[in-house]
Structure formats: C-alpha cells, structure tokens
Amino acid sequence: MAGNRVLPVRIHDVSLGGMSVIVPVNLPAQTIVRVRTLLPLKPAGRLPAELPCTVQYSVLSSAGGGFQVGMHFGALPEAVRAAIAAHVNS
C-alpha cells in the first residue's frame, strides 16, 4: 500500500466515493495508496481491480485488530465504478 510496500487489508466498508479498510499500520492522511481487490459482479463472478486511493484518516481500532483507514477513491475505470455501484446498491 504505502510506497512499494504491500500490506494486507480487510475492507470494512465501501461507498461510491471511497472505502474504509483495516490495516496493521497507521497511515498518515494524504498518503496515496493502491488497493488491489476482487470486486463482486452480479449475478456471479469477480472483477480484479486496483483502486487508487488517498488516505483521509487513520484511527486505532481495537475491535478491528489494527487501524481503520478511511480513503477517497481517485479516478476509477467505468467498469470498476459500475461494479462498486452495483455492490453498494444491492
């Protein structure tokens, strides 16, 4: 995620404008990251995607077992945006 480091994340919440993830390290606000994931496709399937994001906040989450990091999406391809919209609206 940060720089060339690869970090495991758990997606906590997704909206059309961004997402919240749980990560093992505290990421500073305004850090630019890429999140690699498989987005669900209707009726079945997955779309591999790399989501450009900017960190907005990072708070310790004892319940989540790491830091909850809120991010805004950068420019997304239309297919990725459509897959996120379908997931959010389902």
Q: The domain spanning residue 20 has which CATH number?
A: 2.40.10.220
Residue 68's Cβ-side half-sphere holds a number of Cα atoms within 13 Å equal to 11
Is the pTM above the cut of 0.85? yes
The string of pLDDT tens digits covering residues 31-64 is 999 999 999 988 889 999 999 999 999 999 999 8
Please say if the pLDDT value at position 16 is more than 60: yes
Phi and psi dihedrals of 88, rounded to 5? -65, -40
Supply the range of the domain harboring residue 26: 10-88
Give residue 1's pLDDT band: very low, low, confident or very high (50, 70, 90): very low
In a domain, 2, yes or no: no
Count of the separate structural domains present in the chain: 1
In a domain, 5, yes or no: no
In a domain, 26, yes or no: yes
Residues above pLDDT 70, as percent of the chain: 97
In a domain, 3, yes or no: no
Taking alpha carbons only, the member of 50, 53, 47, 48 closest to residue 71 is 53
